[in-house]
Structures are given as C-alpha cells and as structure tokens.
Amino acid sequence: MNEMTVTREQREAKLEGMGCKRKRVEDIRFTQGKGNYVDDVKLPGMLHGDFVRSPYPHARIKSIDKDKALKVPGVLAVLTAEDLKGVNLAWMPTLAGDVQMVLADGKVLFQNQEVAFVVATDRYAADDGINAVEVEYEALPVLIDPFHSMDPDAPVLREDIKDKKDGAHGPRKHPNHIFEWTVGDKDLTDAAFRKAEVTIKELISYHRTHPSPLETCQCLCSFDKVKGELTIWGTFQAPHVIRTVVALISKIPEHKIHVISPDIGGGFGNKVGAYPGYICSAVASIVTGKPVKWVEDRIENLTSTSFARDYHMTAEIAATKEGKVTGLRVHVLADHGAFDACADPSKWPAGFFNIVTGSYDFPTAHLAVDGVYTNKAPGGVAYRCSFRVTEAAYCIERAMDILAQKLGMDPVELRLKNFIRPEQFPYHSALGWEYDSGDYHTAMKKMMETVDYAGLRREQAEKRDAFKRGETREIMGLGVSFFTEIVGAGPSKNCDILGIAMFDSCEIRLHPTGSGIARMGTKSQGQGHETTWAQIIATELGIPADDITVEEGNTDTAPYGLGTYGSRSTPVAGAAIAMAARKIRAKAQMIAAYMLEIHEDDLEWDIDGFRVKGLPEKFKSMKDICWAAYNAPPPGLEPGLEAVSYYDPPNMTYPFGAYLCVMDIDVDTGVYKVRRFYALDDCGTRINPMIIEGQVHGGLTEAFAIAMGQEIRYDNDGNVVTGSFMDFFMPTAVETPHWETDFTVTPSPHHPIGAKGVGESPNVGGVPAFSNAVNDAFSFLGSTHIQMPHDFWRNWQAAKRLGAIA
Ligand code: PCD
Ligand SMILES: [Cu+]
C-alpha cells in the first residue's frame, strides 16, 4: 500500500500504541503451558534443599543431631546455623534495618522457622532427611498478642538486641519494641481536638494476611568453582536488588553474580524480600559444587514468608457539627513478628502510612506508629497496596463512615464536603505529601449517577423497615470507599533501598529493519509488561508494538532497576521508557533532516515518522530512518539508534477511585451476597484499558478475599491455624462477585506520559468498600465498627451480639 491510500487512523491503529486494548503477548506462551518458571529450570546434577522447621513458636534449641539424617540415602549435607557462622551467614540484614536469622541460632522465634537445611539428590530424600534430623527444644513463654508485647513482664523475644537502646529508626522503649515513628503537628492536632464540636475514636484493626501467589517462592543456585561465579534463578520481583544484597553479604564480586527472574507466577509483594531459602541454596551450591534448587510448598509459603498488614489503628477525627473535618489523630500498633523484615523504602518504617489523611482536606493531623516484636513470622510486605497504603486507606475510609454515622450524615455527602478540591492540586497534605493531581468530586458524582446511589439508599431504608416489621431476615449494606493511592517509589530525595536510590530504567535498541528491543529494570509477575511497555514505545517512536521485544529479569542484560512492586513500574519505569524513546526520536529527527535535506526544526512528528512542516508529502518513516541510521547516518553522527534512561521521578503519582459495594446479609446464617460492585479508577493516562481492567478485577478479588475471610491467624499458643488453603480463604470463580469497572482520566502533571499506577488501587479501595458495606448493613442495629475479616461466622456473631437473632 502506498502512503496516500493509508489513512492516519489506519497508521495509528497499526501501531497498537497507548490507549489500545492490545491483547497480552505473554499469554501466547502462558495459555499453551509454555511459560518458563523457576521450577522448569533443570540443570545436570541438580540437588534439592528443604528445611527442618520448628514446631515451636518460641523455644531454646538445646541440640541438633544430624547423624541419622546424613545416613539417609541421597542426603549429602545438613546445614545449621553453626555451619553458616563459618561463612558469616547465620544472620542476614533485612530491608528494614534489622537482622534476621537465616537458620535458628540458639532459639526459634516463630512456628515453622527454618532450623536446618537438608540437601539431597531429590525432594523425597530431602524430606526423609528432614525427618531424621533430631532437634531438642526447650519451650519458652509465647508472645502472640501485640497489645501485651511491651508489658513489663513480657517474654523478651530478641535476646540478641535486648540491651540495644536504639534501633534502625530511633530509640526503643522496651526489648520487644522496634521503633516509634511520628509524623505531623501534635500540638496543633491536640488543639483541634480540644476545640472540636464532634469527635470519634475507634480501634480499627487490619488483620494479618498473606499474598500467597500461586507459584510459591523458589530459587535455583549454581556456583561455578572454576570461574568463581554464582548464577541464581529465582522468583524475584527485584532481581538487581537481590544481586546487590548477595554481593554485599557473600563478598562475591557483583559482576560475578548473575540473577535471573524467569516467568513469575504472581508476586503481590511476597517476592520482594530475601528469604533463608535463597541464602541456604547458595551456600549449599558453593559447598557441594552442584546446583541446588529450593522450592517452597504452600504451607511453608503461608507460614514463613512475608505476611502482610497486622496493623492495629486507633483513629480519631475532630469535626464541626456540619461535618467539616478539623483534625486527624492516628496511633498504630504494628505487629512485625519475630524480625523487622518489612519491605519498605529504607526511610519509611511504616511505609507511606502517612497517606492516612486520604482524599480529605485535613487542616492538621498527627500520626504515631509503634512497631513491636511477637512470636510470628516476619515480613510486612505490601500485598497489593504500595507500602502500608491499604492499611491507611482502610483506616480513614472506615473512620469517615463512623463519623458520618455519628453526625447522622450520608457517608457520600460527608466525603464530598471534605474532599480536596480540584483547584487545590498540587495539594500539600498535613502529613507531608504533595498530591500531584486529582478530581475527586467528578469521580464520586460519576459513581453516584451510574449506580443510582440515591435509589439504593431508598431501597435500603425500605428494607430496614421491612426487617423491623419482621418481613425479611436480610439486611442491606452500601459500602462507599473513596481512596487516594500513592505510588511510584520513588524520588531519590526520599526513597532508597539499602542506600540505592529508587530510580528505574529502560534501554531501547532499534534494529536496521525497523524493529527493536527494550530492556527494563522492572520485572513482570503477570502484570503484562511485555505488552504495555511496547505500547509506550509504539506511540513514542511510531514502531508497531508487535515489532518491539520487551525483556526483563536478567541482571546481565537489563539496566539496573529497583524492580516491580508498589505499583511503581508505570510511574517510574514507564517514564524511563518515554524518556529513552524521546532520546532516540531526537536522533531520528537529525537523521530525517539529513535525508530530507532540510533543517531539523522544519520537521514535525507525525504518528510514525517525520514530515516537513507545510509539505506533507515529504515524509520519512521511522522504518526508513532506522535503516539510514545503520546505513548512511549524517556525517559526524554515530551510527545506530539506541538510548538508555535512568529515571528519577520528581514526585510520586496519586491515583484515586470511587468504589461502591452493595451487599445483602442473612442475619440467621451470616451468609452475605455481594449484589453489586462498582469500581471507578483514575490512573491518569491509560496505556492498555484491557490490562487495566484485568488488574482491577484481580485486585478486587484479592480485596474481597481479605475483607471477607482471608487471614493468617495464630492461636494463643502460637500455632498458625490458617496455614493451608483448607483454612486460608482463597476465592475461586464460584465465590468471586461480578465486577463493574469505570474510569475518569486525570493525568499526572509530572509524568512524561501522564500515567499513574493502577495495579494496587483495587485492593486499596476495595477492602474498605467491602468492610463499609458490612458495617453499614449492621449500623442501624446500633453497631459502629465490626472487625474484619467479615466471614459468615463473624457476621452471624455480630447479628447475635446486636440482638438481631433471638
Ligand atoms: N495508567 C496505567 C497504569 C498501568 N497500566 C498497566 O497495568 C499494569 C500494572 O501497572 P502498575 O500499576 O504500574 O504496577 P506494576 O509496578 O507493573 O506492578 C506491580 C503491581 O502489580 C499488581 N498486579 C499483579 N498482576 C498480576 N497478574 N500478578 C501480580 O503478581 C500482580 N501484583 C500486583 C502488585 S502487588 Mo506489590 O508487589 O504488593 O507492592 S505492587 C503490584 C502494567 O502492565 C501497566 O502497564 C496501564 O496500562 N496504564
Ligand atoms: Cu500495605
């Protein structure tokens, strides 16, 4: 086809650039079972490692006897803390500035803690070896309730630091205290409360849960003695960070460490940190000279790798009688388990929890967070919520509902009254953030109109009357949630991991025939980066997305990046892609000018190439320019067309959304039905609307799981009672409600393509919507707050407590 017969729309459509519902290219291999996951990587002579784990949550280790295990056929080695001490690896640093045992050193601090690592020729032999290791324990008193962690007579958990007065984030008040973190103006906030006409105060707990990706955490380590090089295939959301950490703690030079994240079966924050399995496999490979694989099972994943939440938040709001908020005070008791292994940027011990003022214009606020140790597994990862943002959103969205209830106001009306107004952006929050952009009123009103909010409230009033008359046993709840997310960690001025600034990167190389490759510092775990990153390049460079390969996850070839979590890939790496592409386009313009024998400034970009201003027929496509770049570049200009960008974002991005959940609950059984769920998301410029919809569906499903039942629960003796999918709620298509999605577009003013993150938003907004629906349903019976998760049993208990059941 010649140029003239192809319309602009056709040229644009061919690119499948930004805004196109491009089908996910990675699904071609995934749907055919051709993905390549860690467990698919098999090396000759490969050994298998597995852990002896503690049945006790708190106990002293009197002795470990390996003799019988070493006699089990196939068992080659049994590693204990004593062995790791020889290479200075019995403990490892955590991302939060604490240290963590790799293998139990003298004592165990949580049930299923790693005690010894058995290496054998296959998994079965390793398992037999585990059973043959004899460990003698002496049980110690157990500390499970965080509210008792700082009691004068509480058992001291971390004897290694019991006399340390200062932790990584300042002074400690008790041997089981980790840090206190405060933000905001205390005096001004206290004054606001003294003057307040109306106040509310509630303990709002966000229970412990777990990301539980379908593929558990795993790795394969192979040490080449001759070259002195270590290669690690692993389920890493941040492969470069893992390489740096391994270099720092193993003393193997960083260029001799190769970290490869192949396909990953879901991450959700679970695969950000470093686990004992990685260290033990690496050591075992060095010791045996053979490749060693470690693959967690489900119980191990749920009970020992990083949990999420476990925040106990006491929220107070001060307001006027008319419902204008005047102050916010929040105290958080954060249960970190046995070690502070929170995966947050280094300077943020409670993540970005200070986004807790939410979408509202609080003139003043004060926040204090106390982190404490308990006999539970370490962790504290995002699980689809950036850093402690879901906790913050839940706290404020529940508290706003409680205030509305006290004022006798509709929760939507209260929110509309207190929203940050469009003209206030960029908005400086009382707790220190600068919100980049937002239009909350428009989003909320679109939600109200689409679902007929007023009609739903009328229906609810009728149902309540019918309930009181004894005509129905069903109660109806409307769960409103309006969240502001904070994603895109982050600007080097306040975000680093172990001292490495949280930029991200992209390297684009175009080939002579007009196709190319982009290599990234991010790592998709299912998000679809291979699809969407190519779309950004397609729009920026006029090359069809199908002609761009996207490669992630190999530290030898990818530019250094901080990885994928905290919905940071679009805000940070997405910007790096645009910036790298623009460098290429600038050079392409010089080449086009030379080809067209005209000054660069007389050219304009037009979809897929450069055109001479005012002379539309004089045009050079990017394809022509690519060829010329390798064939006849302008004199004095280097051949080739490639560029790299390391992008340090000037600010975070602040996506937001308006969600509504309509729920019916049968009081006699506690059984709930989600009748309707509407989710409006604003993530700025939308790269791939279909992927966004998929992200929202996934995030809402996880929010549903967490709010309605998913929990890591411990009994008083420290046993995990929800350690498998028999007890840990993992919704299937049967339980999962139908999702209605919608959007508005408020671009980020500082992002080169105006995009904000979206992957986490549905969890951040979804959890309060579900919980507010349950609480709203019960509110007319005199209840102000019912703790999550809202499973049938708890709903039934609430109904009983509130007198709905005789
Ligand atoms: N505006 C816009 C935004 C976005 N997008 C798209 O979407 C996605 C997402 O993004 P973002 O938001 O940026 O994010 P990222 O970074 O990429 O990722 C991350 C996230 O992601 C999510 N999602 C998902 N999916 C899947 N499938 N899988 C997984 O695993 C996951 N995970 C989850 C999580 S949890 Mo964390 O880690 O907790 O912190 S965080 C997170 C991608 O593809 C992109 O491109 C678009 O399109 N547009
Ligand atoms: Cu979080």
- Among residues 221, 284, 226, 292, the alpha carbon closest in space to that of 257 is found at 221
C-alpha atoms less than 13 angstroms from C-alpha of 658 in its C-beta half-sphere? 24
In ligand 1, the atom with minimum distance to the C-alpha of 570 is 13
Nearest CA to ligand 1 atom 24: 527
The CATH number assigned to the domain holding 470 equals 3.30.365.10
The CATH number assigned to the domain holding 100 equals 3.90.1170.50
**Which residues are CB-neighbours of 690 under 8 A, at least 6 positions away?**
21, 22, 23
103 and 240 together in one domain: yes
Calpha distance 140→105 (Å, rounded): 15
Mean pLDDT of 451-457: 98
The answer to whether position 5 is within a domain reads no
CB-ligand 1 contact for 762 (6 Å cutoff): no
429 and 296 together in one domain: no
Exactly one of 221, 280, 342, 385 is catalytic; name it. Answer: 385
Exactly one of 111, 113, 237, 527 is catalytic; name it. Answer: 237
Distance 528 CA to ligand 1 centre (A): 8
CB-ligand 1 contact for 566 (6 Å cutoff): yes
CB-ligand 1 contact for 683 (6 Å cutoff): yes
Contact, 52 vs 135, CB < 8 A? yes
Residue type, 312: H
Contact, 421 vs 441, CB < 8 A? yes
> Which of 527, 531, 685 gets mutated to test ligand 1 (max ligand atoms within 8 A of its CB)?
527
> Which of 504, 654, 686, 695 gets mutated to test ligand 1 (max ligand atoms within 8 A of its CB)?
695
The answer to whether position 4 is within a domain reads no
736 and 609 together in one domain: no
Exactly one of 22, 24, 243, 384 is catalytic; name it. Answer: 384
CB-ligand 1 contact for 748 (6 Å cutoff): no
- Among residues 131, 129, 134, the alpha carbon closest in space to that of 75 is found at 129
In ligand 1, the atom with minimum distance to the C-alpha of 756 is 1
The answer to whether position 591 is within a domain reads yes
358 and 416 together in one domain: yes
Whether pLDDT at 1 is above 80: no
Calpha distance 421→743 (Å, rounded): 19
Distance 149 CA to ligand 1 centre (A): 36
What is the model's pLDDT at position 79? 98
229: containing domain: 42-140+215-265+271-304
Contact, 700 vs 762, CB < 8 A? yes
Calpha distance 554→39 (Å, rounded): 17
C-alpha atoms less than 13 angstroms from C-alpha of 142 in its C-beta half-sphere? 21
Instruction: Point out the domain boundary residue: 647, 677, 703.
Output: 647
339 and 418 together in one domain: yes
**Which residues are CB-neighbours of 120 under 8 A, at least 6 positions away?**
47, 48, 49, 50, 72, 74, 75, 76, 126, 128, 129
Report pLDDT digits (tens) over 157-202. 999 999 999 999 999 999 999 999 999 999 999 999 999 999 999 9
**Long-range contacts at 173-177 (CB < 8 A, ≥ 24 apart):** 173/370, 174/149, 174/150, 174/372, 176/143, 176/149, 176/150, 176/372, 176/373, 176/374, 177/149, 177/150, 177/370, 177/371, 177/372, 177/373
Indicate which ligand has the atom closest to the C-alpha of 386. Answer: 1
Q: In which residue are the tokens 């491009």 written? A: 22
Distance 208 CA to ligand 2 centre (A): 11
Distance 354 CA to ligand 2 centre (A): 12
603 and 485 together in one domain: no
530 and 609 together in one domain: yes
Residue 384 among the catalytic residues? yes
**Secondary structure element (H or E) that encloses residue 99, with its range:** strand 99-101
The answer to whether position 26 is within a domain reads yes
Residue 495 among the catalytic residues? no
The answer to whether position 185 is within a domain reads no
Residue 342 among the catalytic residues? no
The answer to whether position 497 is within a domain reads no
384 and 242 together in one domain: no
Residue 760 among the catalytic residues? yes
Instruction: Point out the domain boundary residue: 282, 304, 326.
Output: 304
The answer to whether position 207 is within a domain reads no
- Among residues 406, 403, 411, 393, the alpha carbon closest in space to that of 456 is found at 411
Instruction: Point out the domain boundary residue: 647, 662, 689.
Output: 647
637 and 700 together in one domain: no
Indicate which ligand has the atom closest to the C-alpha of 384. Answer: 1
407 and 479 together in one domain: yes
| Structural domains in the chain (count) | 3
737 and 607 together in one domain: no
Report pLDDT digits (tens) over 333-390. 999 999 999 999 999 999 999 999 999 999 999 999 999 999 999 999 999 988 999 9
Mean pLDDT over the full length of the chain: 97
- Among residues 106, 98, 101, the alpha carbon closest in space to that of 89 is found at 101
Report pLDDT digits (tens) over 581-631. 999 999 999 999 999 999 999 999 999 999 999 999 999 999 999 999 999
CB-ligand 1 contact for 267 (6 Å cutoff): yes
Q: Strand 325-335 and strand 307-319: pairing?
A: antiparallel
773 and 660 together in one domain: yes
What is the model's pLDDT at position 2? 52
The answer to whether position 326 is within a domain reads yes
Whether pLDDT at 544 is above 70: yes
Report pLDDT digits (tens) over 642-674. 999 999 999 999 999 999 999 999 999 999 999
